[in-house]
């Protein structure tokens, strides 16, 4: 390469270098300009107004760890601003695990208090009153007050308990209740919810997740809207209305049934004050669904149901949501649900209803209790061991009137030594309820009170499912005729369903055994949970209907829920 080529190459490299350094020179120029401006402003500082930067706002007040420790060390009741902590043990556990550092006030308040308020407001969707969880204290300018620290954690822990296991101890309103729910480590759950910022979602997950519960929630929202809207049709009191009557209240009856969804398919009445046949047919549908006397007449009980206000239905739905929260966390992949108030049994598997059976429940003086247990075995052609109470209250008076009924109905009489006694030699009128010395048992056969089969889930009530020779009673709308046990319309079919995990017991084989009248006991390979409920708000295909409060259990529960 020659000297000329070297000179030309050097010039090209210099031009390229200048192009690459141009941005750098521009940036340096701007920096120098800014520096000059700063120096100029500094020089003029004594001649012009100063610019003040506001100091950072101090964090909201908070209790110290020592103060929290001292407060929780007091003997209950522990009062905070005059409000007693409702879950002292759970609150103590929560703060002990975090060395008594505050969780909701101080620097965390502006983030966590709004989330807590949102979580507690959800209580209303479950039929609970948000005011019972100090909600108003956690909203507005005073939400971050230091005194709210313990009340905030107490509110969340309390609502967690209520969503998981119910607000009311079921034994205080339904003494026969025996189902229990497992304990919940609420303190750990709250710690996790704070760490994951899921205060609302963690609470929602504690409530029952069954579709039935969600349908009750949807109905609660609907009836709240109706209660707030007003103008709900009212049926005035008065004498019994019967088909053929002409009365201004018939117009009210039409309006009320239309609002309840029973007149949608009927044309407008030519005479709205005439109680005609079409209106009577729709009222019978309403009575059938609610388990009232299906007579087409607006008598005392039907009038009472038709005059319930939306606010009363809201309270009724809240009570039924509470009953659902009393149930175990898991009802079982395959399980049986009995609703006493609806006289119905559902056999369920995989979230689906596989069979529905009408049932007969206990009469008023021998009410069927609510409880949960596990079915363990089935007895085909069972002997009936007559409970002492039924022996002296039912059978002794019968045998005193008709001594021949002992053998006609297939009863055996046993003495205190379990020896069979010839009933022909017994003077039944010589005994009273207290002095009756015998034990009674009834042999298998067509007169046996248990029918062809009994399905056993041992419980302290000695209540179970069984067949019955009285088949006609299943046609009645209100079926409370038993002494506490539950009679099933198609018991052998239900037994075959319960035994479905074993192919050795199809329905045909069970029917053959029943025909033999020989007592046969069959153990279940897999126990089947049985949940005997009392629900006066019933879900059918996602829609809710209200049924007659057979045992008058709603009022006590509603009153308890409405007591702060």
Q: Is the peptide bond before 77 cis (omega within 30 degrees of 0)?
A: yes
Question: Residue written as tokens 């606010």?
Answer: 311
Annotated active-site residue in 100, 291, 466, 531: 466
At a CB cut-off of 8 Å and minimum separation 6, what does 534 contact? 174, 323, 339, 340, 341, 370, 551, 553
Q: Given CA atoms 473, 474, 476, 482 in this order, what sign does their dihedral have?
A: positive
Closest to 86 in 3D by CA, of 29, 167, 204? 167
Q: Catalytic site residue 466?
A: yes
C-alpha span between 453 and 520 (Å, rounded): 9
Q: Kindly list the distances between the CA atom of residue 241 and the CA atoms of 235, 259, 301, 405, 478, in Å, as whole numbers in the listed order.
A: 11, 19, 12, 44, 21
- CA angle 450/379/377 to nearest 5° reads 125
Closest to 440 in 3D by CA, of 459, 427, 463, 421? 421
Q: Catalytic site residue 485?
A: yes
C-alpha span between 149 and 429 (Å, rounded): 73
The pairing of beta strand 486-488 with beta strand 465-466: parallel
Instruction: Pull the structure tokens for residue 484.
Output: 């506490």
Give bridge partners of residue 372 from the DSSP assignment.
531
Is residue 478 within a helix (H) or strand (E), and if so which, with residue range?
none
C-alpha span between 511 and 503 (Å, rounded): 15
Inter-residue contact 546 to 537 (CB < 8 Å): yes
C-alpha span between 456 and 498 (Å, rounded): 11
Inter-residue contact 294 to 284 (CB < 8 Å): yes
C-alpha span between 329 and 209 (Å, rounded): 9
Please list the active-site residues.
466, 485
């Amino acid at each position: 390469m020659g000297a000329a080529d070297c000179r030309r190459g050097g010039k090209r490299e210099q031009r390229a270098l200048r192009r690459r350094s141009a941005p750098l020179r521009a940036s340096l120029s701007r920096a120098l300009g800014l520096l000059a401006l700063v120096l100029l402003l500094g020089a003029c500082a004594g001649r012009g107004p100063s610019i003040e930067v506001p100091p950072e706002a101090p964090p909201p007040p908070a209790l110290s760890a020592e103060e929290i420790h001292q407060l929780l060390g007091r003997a209950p009741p522990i009062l905070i601003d005059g409000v007693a902590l409702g879950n002292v043990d759970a609150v103590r556990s929560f703060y002990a695990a975090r060395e008594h550092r505050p969780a909701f006030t101080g620097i965390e308040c502006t983030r966590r208090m709004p989330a807590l308020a949102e979580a507690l407001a959800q209580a209303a969707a479950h039929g609970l009153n948000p005011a019972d969880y100090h909600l108003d204290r956690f909203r507005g300018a005073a939400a971050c007050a230091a005194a709210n620290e313990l009340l905030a954690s107490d509110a969340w822990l309390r609502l967690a308990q209520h969503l998981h296991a119910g607000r009311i101890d079921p034994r205080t309103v339904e003494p026969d209740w025996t189902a229990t729910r497992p304990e919940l480590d609420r303190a750990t759950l709250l710690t996790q919810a704070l760490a994951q910022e899921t205060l609302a979602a963690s609470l929602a997950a504690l409530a029952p997740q069954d579709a039935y519960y969600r349908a009750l929630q949807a109905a609660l929202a609907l009836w709240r809207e109706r209660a707030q809207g007003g103008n709900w049709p009212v049926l005035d009191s008065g004498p019994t209305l019967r088909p053929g009557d002409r009365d201004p209240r018939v117009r009210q009856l039409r309006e009320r049934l239309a609002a309840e969804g029973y007149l949608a398919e009927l044309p407008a009445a030519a005479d709205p004050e005439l109680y005609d046949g079409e209106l009577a047919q729709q009222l019978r549908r309403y009575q059938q669904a609610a388990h009232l006397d299906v007579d087409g007449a607006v008598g005392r009980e039907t009038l009472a149901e038709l005059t319930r206000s939306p606010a009363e239905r809201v309270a009724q739905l809240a009570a039924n949501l509470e009953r659902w929260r009393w149930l175990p966390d898991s009802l079982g992949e395959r399980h049986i649900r009995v609703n006493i108030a609806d006289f119905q049994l559902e056999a369920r598997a995989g979230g689906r209803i596989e069979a529905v059976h009408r049932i007969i429940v206990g009469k008023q003086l021998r009410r069927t209790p609510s409880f949960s247990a596990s079915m363990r075995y089935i007895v085909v052609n069972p002997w009936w061991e007559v409970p002492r109470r039924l022996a002296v209250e039912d059978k002794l008076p019968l045998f005193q009137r008709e001594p021949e009924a002992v053998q006609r109905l297939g009863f055996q009489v046993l003495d205190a030594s379990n020896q069979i006694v010839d009933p022909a030699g017994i003077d039944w009128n010589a005994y009273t309820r207290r002095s009756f010395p015998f034990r009674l048992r009834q042999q298998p056969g067509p007169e046996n009170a248990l029918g062809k089969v009994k399905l056993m889930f041992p419980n302290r009530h000695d209540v179970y499912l069984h067949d019955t020779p009285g088949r006609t009673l299943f046609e009645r709308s209100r079926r409370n005729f038993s002494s506490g046990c539950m009679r099933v319309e198609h018991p052998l079919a239900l037994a075959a369903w319960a035994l479905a995990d074993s192919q050795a017991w199809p329905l045909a084989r069970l029917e053959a055994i029943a025909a033999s009248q020989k007592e046969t006991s069959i153990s279940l390979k897999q126990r089947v949970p049985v949940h005997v409920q009392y629900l006066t708000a019933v879900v059918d295909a996602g829609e809710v209907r209200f049924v007659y409060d057979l045992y008058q259990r709603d009022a006590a529960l509603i009153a308890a829920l409405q007591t702060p």
